[in-house]
Structure 1
Amino acid sequence: MATDAMITHLVGATALILIVAHTAGWLSRRWRQPTIIGQLIAGIALGPTMLAGLFPALSRILFPPALGPVLTGLSQIALVLFLFAVGYELDLGVVRGRARTVVAVSLAAFVLPMSAGCAAALLFHRQLASLGAPREMSAASVLFFGVALSITAVPVLTAIVRENGLAGTVPGIVAVAAAGVIDVMGWTVLVGTLLETGAEGGLSRPVRLALLLGFTAVMLLAARPVLRRLLWRSGVDPSVRLAVLVGFAFASAWVTQALGLHVIFGALLAGVVTPREEGCTLDPDLVRPLHDIGMLLLPFFFVVSGRSVEIGALDSAGVVAVVAVTLLAVTVKVVSGTVAARLAGLDRHDARTVGVLLNTRGLTELIALNAGLQAGLLSGRLYTALVLMALATTVATEPLLAVVRRLRARAEGAGGDTPTPPPRTPVDASSAEAL
Structure 2
Amino acid sequence: MPDDSTTAAVLAAIAVAVFTCALFGAAARALRQPPVIGQILAGIALGPSLLGRLPGDPAASLFPAHVLPFLAMLGQVAVTVFMFSVGHELTAHRRQAAGRAVATVTVGALAVPMGLGAATAVLGRTGFGSAGETAAGSGTFVLFMALAVAVTALPVLAAIVRDRGLDGTRAGTVALASSGLMDAVAWFALAAITLGAGTTAGRHSGAKEMGLRIVLLLALAAALLGVVRPLLRRWMRSSVTVPYHLPVAFALAAGAAAATTALGLHAVFGGLLAGAAMPHLHEGPEPDSVPSSGRAPVPFLTAAIHAVEHLFLPLFFVTTGLALDVGSLRLDDFVLLVVLCAVACAGKLGGGYLGARVGGLPRQASATVAVLLNTRGLTELIALNLGLASGIIHKRLFTVLVLMAVITTLMTSPLLSALGHRANSRRSRGSGPGEPATASASTDADPAAVRRIQAAVRPRGPGRA
TM-score by length of 2: 0.84
> Do structure 1's residue 320 and structure 2's residue 346 form an aligned pair?
no
Deviation at 1:312, TM superposition (A): 0.3
Q: Identify, as 1 or 2, the structure richer in helix.
A: 1
CA distance change for structure 1 residues 296 and 227 in 2, over 3 Å: closer, same or farther?
same
2:463 aligns to what? none
Counterpart secondary structure, 2:280: coil
Residue 18 in structure 1 maps to residue 18 in structure 2 = yes
Matching residue of 1:51: 51
Deviation at 1:130, TM superposition (A): 2.3
Once residues 273 and 297 of structure 2 are traced to their aligned partners in structure 1, the CA distance between those partners, rounded to angstroms, is 16
> 1:252-267 residue pairs with structure 2 within 5 A?
252-267=256-271
2:316 matched residue in structure 1: 301
Q: Distance in 2 between matches of 1:132 and 1:99?
A: 44
**1:356 aligned partner, one-letter code:** V
Give the structure 1 partner of residue 415 of structure 2.
400
The root-mean-square deviation of aligned C-alpha atoms, in Å, is 2.4
Aligned sequence identity (%): 40
In structure 1, what is the Cα distance between the partners aligned to 2:283 and 2:259? 31
Cα offset, 1:432, TM superposition: 4.7
1:311-390 → structure 2 map (5 Å cutoff): 311-390=326-405
Verify the 8 A CA contact 1:72 1:304 in the aligned structure 2.
yes
Q: Corresponding residue for 2:224?
A: 219
**Total equivalences in the alignment:** 413
Counterpart amino acid of residue 439 in structure 2: S
How far apart in 1 are the matches of 2:250 and 2:356? 38
Runs (5+) with no aligned partner, structure 2? 285-295, 422-435, 447-465
Aligned to 2:431: none
Given that residues 28 and 38 in structure 1 are in contact (C-alpha distance below 8 angstroms), is that contact kept between their aligned partners in structure 2?
Answer: yes
Give the letter for the 2:51 counterpart. L
- Contact kept in structure 2, 1:252 and 1:267, CA below 8 Å: yes
Structure 2 residue 107 is the aligned partner of structure 1 residue 107: yes
Query: 1:88 is paired with a residue of what secondary structure?
Result: helix
Is 1:430–2:445 an aligned residue pair? no
CA distance in 1, matches of 2:403, 2:175: 23
Q: 1:197 to 1:210 in 2, by over 3 A?
A: same
For residue 381 of structure 1, report the CA deviation from its aligned partner: 1.4
Q: Which is worse superposed, 136-145 or 340-349? A: 136-145
Asked if structure 1 preserves the Cα contact closer than 8 Å seen for 2:17 and 2:314, the reply is yes
Whether the 8 Å CA contact 2:388–2:395 is kept in 1: the answer is: no
Greater shift in the superposed pair: 320-329 or 223-232: 223-232
The 1-side partners of 2:281 and 2:171 are apart by 28
Larger deviation, residues 337-346 vs 56-65? 56-65
Matched residue type, 2:82: F
**Structure 2: distance between partners of 1:431 and 1:295:** 13
Q: Shift of residue 263 of structure 1?
A: 1.1
Task: Report if the CA contact (8 A) 1:92-1:181 is conserved.
Answer: no
For residues 267 and 243 of structure 2, the distance between their equivalents in structure 1, rounded to whole angstroms, comes to 24
Residue 9 in structure 1 maps to residue 9 in structure 2 = yes
* Partner residue in 1 for 2:172: 172
Deviations 1:216-266 (A, max 9, x none): 11112111112233444234x222221122011111011111211111111
Partner Cα separation in structure 2 for residue 200 and residue 243 of structure 1: 37
In the TM superposition, residue 59 of structure 1 has moved relative to its aligned partner by 2.2
Distance 2:196 2:137 in 1: 12
Q: 1:304 to 1:401 in 2, by over 3 A?
A: same
Q: Which runs of 5+ in 1 are unaligned?
A: 407-426
After superposition, the C-alpha distances for 1:376-432 in whole angstroms (9 at most, x for unaligned) are 1111211111000000000000111122229xxxxxxxxxxxxxxxxxxxx971225
Matches within 5 A, 1:37-186: 37-90=37-90, 91-95=92-96, 99-135=99-135, 137-186=137-186
Whether contact under 8 Å (1:277, 1:283) holds in the other structure is no
TM-superposition CA deviations, 1:87-107 (whole Å, max 9, x none): 1122233436x5111010011
Contact 2:237-2:282 within 8 A present in 1 as well: no
Letter in 1 for 2:167: A
- What does residue 277 of structure 1 align with? 281
Cα distance between partner residues in 2 of 1:432 and 1:390: 23
- 1:233 paired residue number: 238
> How far does residue 136 in structure 1 lie from its aligned partner after superposition?
5.7
Where 1:377 maps in the other structure, the secondary structure is coil
TM-score (normalizing by structure 1): 0.90
